[in-house]
Amino acid sequence: MAEIAVAPRAWGGRAGLLAWLQEYGVYASVLALLLFNVVFTPHFLEVANFRTQLIQVAPVVITSLGMALVIGTEGIDLSVGSVMALASAMVVLYLGYGAPVAIVAALIAGAAIGAGGGALVAYVGVQPIVATLALLVGVRGLANVLVPQLTEFRNPTLITLGSRSVLGLPLVVIIAAALTVLIGFLVKRTTLGRQLVAVGGNRAASRLSGLPVRRVLVTVYLISGLLAAVAGVLATSRLQASDPTSLGLLMELSAITAVVVGGTPLTGGRVRVLGTVMGALLIQLLQATLIKHNLPQSWTQMVQAVIILAAVYAARGRRA
Amino acid sequence: MTTTIAGADTSADARRRPGGLRRERIGHLLQHHGALMVLAVTVVVGAVAFDSFATPQNAANIVVSSSFLAIVAIGMTFVIISGGIDLSVGSSFVLAGVLAAYGSRYGLLVALLLPLAVCGAIGLVQGLIVARTGMAPFIVTLAGLLGMRGLMLAVSGEGANTYLVQNDAFSALGQTSILGLTVPVWITLGLVLLGGVLLQRTSFGQNVYAIGGSEEAAVLMGVPVTRVKVVVYLISGSLAGLAGALNAARLSSGVTILGAGMELDVIAAVVIGGTLLTGGAGGLTGTMAGVLLLGVIQSLINQIGVLTSSFQQVVSGAFLALVVVMQRILHRAQRLS
């Protein structure tokens, strides 16, 4: 994207191919997998199939967007899955006061957890991986304490949110798309976006040039927590049930995978929003393809492992 | 970071200094033995509050159930001191359990060696990738986590088959008690001693600290960085495999669901034990205190009874946060003084 101008033609040969793969590999892979499915998978082009895939991938996309911002600051947020569970628990707890209150409570909880993690990173100087690991453990426990078992509910507003479609598109997918545009705008066109990329690129230099490094970090983790809470609310609305033991479990791994496969380097200083969405789509499409061709779940995970390694290996050259 | 290449040396320096800077010494003590002290306080509080807590039976229970986590944590301590991280140990643990139960039909040796060989080999490959390509350990072992979970599912018929241990000698390895403690506990003790000697008394151990402290400096000093890194991940993979196999022996079956997410408990125990995730500092004593602390918290929460086990997660998370915040504050205080 805009931050680093790569000129593949000037490099030529093998280096040029590698640079091209780094930039567009994830798009090419999604396209190739789509073409493969169109040709070899029966009933792939039916609309219902696409809808299912998009609905399933929406929470992953939303969580990954926040993760991409955090990774852009050279951080990591392991707490997103647990925040989803907490948001789900809050929805159940406050549903008595009406759906809007419940949703707002869930979002506030997510933002607060995110900001707490951000404060640990920014003000105390704890490493992101440890700070958010503590939150992963503690927040999942908290969600379980608040809502000890699977709780079902029926709420018309939440049913609308989770299952209604507008103009043929599920509301969940529209929300995910809108958030993608919003985060893309944030990264490209706002001061905060510039600042977070700068902080990720070189924190010491950012501090010396007078950027509010700590505030930027707290804001970025807050956004990550908020987006995870949105994903949690949407997933809960769809299920019309809250199960804090299992909701969002291992979501942090899916989100990190999407971000990394999408070409955002773990070393920070760069955020690829569209790439992240493509990364999430690629994993989803891959799982769907393997399932449609009757290959077991075990294959999905092993192929996923290979894709992660390949993506990061390809991105390695960028540091130089 | 530069002052703590090896924990023992600096404390010796502080003691030799005439008059000794007491504040510095206390800070040092807290940083390196904080977990041990918190453990002692927690045990005392538990003993006062609950009659059934400070019994030999309960102590044995805590030690026995902690031993598997402890074995994995030994390997993780090596990895983290070297400046890396190994997210694959939970998957490794589960895979090893399934392989051990599956292999037990071919005898005791296969049941033990098959999981050790497979998990060790995967650890070796991860180490090679980390050391040779310079890819982030976090990502390489994340891929390892996914890959090994896939492998485990493939071996166990997509998680549908639970293999039972079909070898009495192997089951006995996990269940027999010697002097009131099960065999895995004694193995853990042996491994802690061995690991401690390896880490503190050999050039390999010093190299691990050196690489974690500053990889560039280690290269310049002529430390065989690639080899040391590979060995560190090999150790971590093998120990996770051993722990998984012993757990299968204890349960007499290869359970396919236990152990997922274990990597986080292990990392938490190591960090609570005072090993810095930035590498270059820490040790096994702290890690064992961290492991026992998690076990004691679990036991206390069981004693309280009315509280669900979810509270254990809340308390563990809080402890972890508290410890890392303390570490940072002490680190800053030391730099200022």
Domains in chain B: ranges and CATH: 34-336 (1.10.3470)
| SS3 of chain A | CCCCCCCHHHHCHHHHHHHHHHHHHHHHHHHHHHHHHHHHCCCCCCHHHHHHHHHHHHHHHHHHHHHHHHHHCCCCCCCHHHHHHHHHHHHHHHHHHCHHHHHHHHHHHHHHHHHHHHHHHHHHCCCHHHHHHHHHHHHHHHHHHHCCCCEECCCHHHHHHHHCEECCEEHHHHHHHHHHHHHHHHHHHCHHHHHHHHHHHCHHHHHHCCCCHHHHHHHHHHHHHHHHHHHHHHHHHHHCEECCCCCCCCHHHHHHHHHHHCCCCCCCCCCCHHHHHHHHHHHHHHHHHHHHCCCCHHHHHHHHHHHHHHHHHHHHHHHC
For A127, half-sphere exposure in the C-beta direction (CA atoms, 13 angstrom radius) is 13
Q: Would you state the torsion angle of the CA atoms of residues B29, B30, B35, B37, taken in this order, to the nearest 10 degrees?
A: 80
Q: Does B304 touch chain A (CB under 8 A)?
A: no
Q: Give B324's contacts in chain A (Cβ within 8 Å).
A: 120, 124, 126-127, 130-131, 134
Considering only residues A316 and B302, tell me which one the structure prediction assigns the higher pLDDT.
B302
Selection from A71, A243, A28, A266 nearest residue A151 by Cα: A243
pLDDT at B20 over 70: no
pLDDT band at B254 (very low <50, low <70, confident <90, very high): confident
Which pLDDT does position A10 carry in this prediction?
46
* pLDDT value for A7: 44
Return the closest-CA partner of residue B75 out of B123, B4, B133, B32.
Answer: B123
For the record, the structure tokens of A59 come out as 């929470």
Q: How confident is the model at residue B8 (pLDDT cuts 50, 70, 90)?
A: very low
Indicate the SS3 state at residue B178: strand
Contact between B143 and B150 under an 8 Å Cβ cutoff? The reply is no
Nearest CA-CA partner of A314 in B8, A118, A306: A306
pLDDT at B5 exceeding the cut of 60: no
Contact A138 B320 (CB under 8 A): yes
B150/A129 touch (CB, cutoff 8 Å), yes or no = no
> Does A309 lie at the interface with B, CB-CB under 8 angstroms?
yes
pLDDT over 70 for what percent of chain A? Answer: 92
Residue of A nearest to B152 (CA): A298
Q: What is the rounded CA–CA span in Å between residue B38 and residue B66?
A: 17
Contact A134 B320 (CB under 8 A): yes
Taking alpha carbons only, the member of B222, B234, B237, B328 closest to residue B274 is B328
Q: Are the beta carbons of A309 and B140 separated by less than 8 Å?
A: yes
- Which residues of chain A lie closer than 8 angstroms to B313, CB-CB? 137-138, 140-142, 144
Distance of alpha carbon B112 from alpha carbon A66, whole angstroms: 44
Residues 245-284 of B with CB under 8 A from A: 261, 264, 267-268, 271, 277-278
Asked whether the predicted pLDDT for residue A4 surpasses 50, the reply is no
Select from A140, A256, A266 the Cβ nearest to the Cβ of B313: A140
pLDDT tens string A74-86: 999 999 999 999 9
Which pLDDT belongs to residue A60?
Answer: 95
Half-sphere exposure in the Cβ direction for B84 (13 Å, CA): 35
Question: Cβ contact (<8 Å) for A306 and B133?
Answer: no
A258 vs B: CB within 8 A: no
CA-to-CA separations, A178 to A156, A183, A185, in angstroms, rounded: 23, 9, 11
C-alpha Rg value of chain B to the nearest Å: 20
Is A120 touching B (CB cutoff 8 A)?
yes
What is the band of B2 on the pLDDT scale with cuts at 50, 70, 90?
very low
Chain B interface test: which of A312, A313, A318, A319 (most B C-beta within 10 Å): A312
The minimum CA-CA distance between A63 and chain B, rounded to whole Å, is 18
d(CA A307, CA A282): 10
Residue B253, helix vs strand vs coil: strand
Q: Calculate the CA dihedral of residues A313, A318, A320, B1 and round it to 10 degrees.
A: -70
C-alpha distances (whole Å) from B225 to each of A133, B84, B202 are 28, 13, 15
Mutate to test the interface with B, among A301, A303, A304, A316 (most CBs of B within 10 A): A301
Q: How far apart are CA B5 and CA A46, in angstroms?
A: 62
Q: B328 vs A309: CB contact, 8 Å cut-off?
A: no
CA dihedral B272, B278, B280, B281 (to 10 degrees): -20
Q: Which residue has the higher pLDDT, A307 or B189?
A: B189
For residue A20, the Cα-to-chain-centroid distance in whole angstroms is 24
The residues, ordered by sequence, that sit 6+ positions from B14 with a Cβ below 8 Å of its Cβ are B20, B21, B24, B25, B28
Q: Which of A140, A264, A302, A304 is the best substitution to test chain B (most B C-beta atoms within 10 A)?
A: A302
Closest alpha carbon to B155 in A287, A304, A305, A299: A299
Amino acid at A130: V
Confirm or reject contact between B310 and chain A (CB < 8 A).
yes
Question: What is the pLDDT, as a whole number, of residue B29?
Answer: 66
DSSP letter, residue B182? E
pLDDT tens track for A103-116: 999 999 999 999 99
Q: CB contact, 8 Å: B316 with chain A?
A: yes
Q: pLDDT of A141-151, one tens digit each?
A: 899 889 988 88
Interface touch B268/A133, C-beta < 8 Å: yes
Give yes or no for A320 touching B (CB within 8 A).
no
Are B317 and A299 within 8 A, CB to CB? no
Distance from CA of B105 to the nearest CA of A (A): 24
- Is residue B1 less than 8 Å (CB to CB) from chain A? no
Asked whether residue B308 carries a pLDDT value surpassing 80, the answer given is no
Top mean-pLDDT range of A308-312, B24-28, B206-210: B206-210
DSSP annotation string for B29-53 = HHHHHHHHHHHHHHHHHHHHH-TTT
Q: Which of residues 118-157 of B touch A (CB under 8 A)?
A: 129, 133-136, 138-140, 142-147, 149-154
- Between residues B83 and A46, which one has the greater pLDDT? B83
B178 has which bridge partners?
Answer: B181
- HSE-CB of B80 using CA atoms within 13 angstroms: 29
Q: Provide the shortest C-alpha distance from residue B183 to chain A (in Å).
A: 30
Please, are residues A232 and A80 in contact by the beta-carbon 8 Å criterion? Answer: no
